[in-house]
A and B are shown apart, each in its own frame.
Chain A
Amino acid sequence: KQEVTQIPAALSVPEGENLVLNCSFTDSAIYNLQWFRQDPGKGLTSLLLIQSSQREQTSGRLNASLDKSSGRSTLYIAASQPGDSATYLCAVEVNYGQNFVFGPGTRLSVLP
């Protein structure tokens, strides 16, 4: 059974720092991996989607990498801002269109 973990569970950094969030999955047979942002009490916003054949995706200050063989993905946030404060979740698609497994999330606080 696919399991997804995220480390750390919570992170607090001063504004302007570069930071890395980690996502690990136990079964490398995935179709894709997606990173989301969730603000308190709100829905999930898609940040980046990495297909299984890709190594990384970039959007603005965000860069996500994928290493299927080791079961790892990282989300790199450059020059963090207080507006980046949120919970970040990763999810893997296990069976095409059927089964998405989510990690528990990393709660990020960026202090002014």
Chain B
Amino acid sequence: DADVTQTPRNRITKTGKRIMLECSQTKGHDRMYWYRQDPGLGLQLIYYSFDVKDINKGEISDGYSVSRQAQAKFSLSLESAIPNQTALYFCATSDDWGEQYFGPGTRLTVL
């Protein structure tokens, strides 16, 4: 089984809808991250968490919120989706050495 899983894998929604993307990990890492990737661009950090009580904004957090329900679970929400949030979203964890492990991604389309 994959170490980092994401659900759903694909989602099409309409402008204004609330969307939640979920991430689970079995690596036992404290650190978890949400990124978005747009075609031709590098990954951009949305939010990161060091543990259940520690949530931090990344470089592009506007329009997004997160919840760290447990060490293994980190969810990303779009409160009111807009078309320019159409992108590929990745969850990742990292160990104490800084090596990152990525989930398979969620392809989100906002119409």
Contact = CB atoms under 8 A, between A and B. Distances in A.
B42 A104 contact: yes
A102 to B, nearest CB: 4
Given A42-B105, A104-B40, A97 B100 contact: no
Interface stretch (A12-20, A45-53, A68-76, A78-86): A45-53
Contact of B102 (A45, A96, A104): A45
Interface residues of B, number: 27
Q: Is the interface of A mostly helix, strand, loop or mixed?
A: strand
Contacts, number: 64
Interface string B30-58: 01010000001111110010100000101
Interface in A19-49: 31-32, 34, 36, 41-46, 49
Nearest to A103: B42
Interface centre among B42, B45, B102, B104 (most CB of A within 10 A): B42
A100 B107 contact: no
20 contacts: A32-B98, A34-B100, A41-B88, A41-B105, A43-B4, A43-B90, A43-B104, A43-B105, A44-B43, A46-B100, A46-B101, A46-B102, A49-B97, A91-B100, A96-B98, A97-B31, A97-B50, A98-B48, A98-B56, A100-B94
Interface of B: 4, 31, 33, 40-45, 48, 50, 56, 58, 88, 90, 92, 94, 97-105, 107
Q: Give me the 8 closest cross-chain CB pairs, A-B, nearest first.
A: A102-B42, A44-B102, A43-B102, A102-B43, A43-B104, A49-B99, A93-B98, A32-B98
